[in-house]
Structure 1
Amino acid sequence: MPAPLRPTASGSSNFVFKHYSGALTQTDGEIRGRRVDDYLFRFEGGKQVLISMDHEDDDLDPLLQVYPAANRQGADPIAGDDDSGGRMNAFLSFTPEESGDYIVRATGSTSDRSIGSYRLRVGQQP
């Protein structure tokens, strides 16, 4: 068995995350059969963004999508994730090409799993 490595870090970064509590309800807007909460963020181009969405009850299977603010009705997000956060939670990493306003869409992965409470965390590389 090989000996474990003792890694030497080549650098570090300090992400500061902001936390948001939310809930998708029957009164939220609906796009393509799913309830959605759209959040507006300003991201700097060329700096990595990390976003997670964790469900707080079993009625929601989180899905994250990111759109340019000017085209949030578009069919294809520039980034998205369904289950990379473990236990049906969503986690994504993306680096915007340009600085500007972006929509982070919190929704459910299917129309029958799109209602419930969640916690959203958003951070960008300093």
Structure 2
Amino acid sequence: MKSLVSHPNALIVDDDPYITEMLSTALEITGLFDTIVKATNCQEGRSALGKTNFGLVIFDNNLPDGKGFQLLNDLRHGPETKNSMVPAIFTTVALDPQMERDLKSLPLTRFLPKPYVIENVVELMVELLGLK
């Protein structure tokens, strides 16, 4: 796959070490990203988003210090930053109807229900990055 990503960094915000490692390995195998940054909570995710340009962010919703949805929503609706419009994949086990509507209204955002297979993550990534 030829990279069309202008910022060859990816961020994974998830507190499950198994999922984080699985996602990291999958992203590395694609060859699209030079650096994979891992954050285990909202604070680390927010800090990473403030420091580095990303070409893709994968958010889990249930984090130790808050909700990944709030972090994603703040990113999309807060002050414009270098990552305001980064393509994002949002994952969670349970999605209430209001959150589903809210997610659909966010640009460059796709929802992937847990549990998922890694191929689904790669398919969404390819779609979001316009590589299809």
Q: Structure 1 length as normaliser, TM-score?
A: 0.27
Q: Quick one: higher RCO (CA 8 Å, sep 6+), 1 or 2?
A: 1
Bigger Cα Rg? 1
Please identify which structure carries the higher strand content.
Answer: 1
